Amino acid sequence: MDRHTTPELRPATRRWPVTNALLFANVAAFVLQLLAHKYFPRFPLKQYFGLSYTGLEEGFLWQLLTFQFLHGGVLHLLLNCWGIYVFGHAVEDTLGRKQMLKLYLFCGMAGGGLHVLGSLLLPSHFGAVSIYGVTHYDSVVGASAGLFGLMAAFATLYPEQDLRVLLLFVYPVTVSARVLVGVCAGVSLVGMLMTHSNVAHGAHLGGMLAGFAYVRFILPTERKP
């Protein structure tokens, strides 16, 4: 996916972009994950730093932040970093460093919160399993909620902006930002109806809703283009 045309953005800051800092943090966290698995294989990394209802119930509130920097594998990391790179710089150029960071983290936490709520209401649809009548809540990890929040924010700021995407990762097509986010929201809704999915569709949808809400209702007026 790349930006097909360039929207009217504010001048980019000369300081190191916060988008780059987020990319670095995600990669660094993944390296630490690999080292932890290698040298401390019994340490329950996901249970402490991934996000789950069980963890929040235990008081591990930091999970709402830390789960956003953990990933389930190299491909998971690369796809999220690619999306953050594409949309993060555009949103940051428009909103500024501080607002972009607040938006990203807010969307991540909101998406994670929706996933946890879903795991309580419909456990089998949000990664939880029931064994002998006891519900076990699996931990969710990944930057996807923040990424989808950036996408929704971009589409809210520039709804008619053309984007070129690879359909099924093969066929290039051009769609507006509004259509792309609408399709992603639809996929997330359908995914939430599926049982035992290994994709956190609730976190994706929550991130998108939070991105839209942030630009519409939270973002200061002077920051809007």
The per-residue pLDDT for 12 is: 45
Instruction: For the chain, state the CA radius of gyration.
Output: 18
Mean pLDDT value across the chain = 90
pLDDT tens by residue, 137-191: 889 999 999 999 999 999 999 999 999 887 656 778 899 999 999 999 999 999 9
The per-residue pLDDT for 47 is: 95
pLDDT tens by residue, 20-37: 999 999 999 999 999 999
| 223 compared with 38, residue with greater pLDDT | 38
Beta-carbon contacts of residue 4 (< 8 Å; ≥ 6 apart): 161, 162, 163, 164, 174
The per-residue pLDDT for 169 is: 62
Domain that holds residue 18: 2-223
Distance of CA 161 to the CA centre of its chain: 21
Q: What is the CATH number of the domain that holds 116?
A: 1.20.1540.10
Q: Structurally, how many domains does the chain consist of? A: 1
Dist. CA 168–CA 177, nearest whole Å: 18
Q: Is the pTM of this model over 0.85?
A: yes
Nearest to residue 57, comparing CAs of 137, 143, 118, 112?
137
pLDDT tens by residue, 76-100: 999 999 999 999 999 999 999 999 9
Q: Which of 53-57, 127-131, 217-221 has the highest mean pLDDT?
A: 53-57
Beta-carbon contacts of residue 148 (< 8 Å; ≥ 6 apart): 107, 111, 184, 188, 203, 204, 205, 207, 208, 211
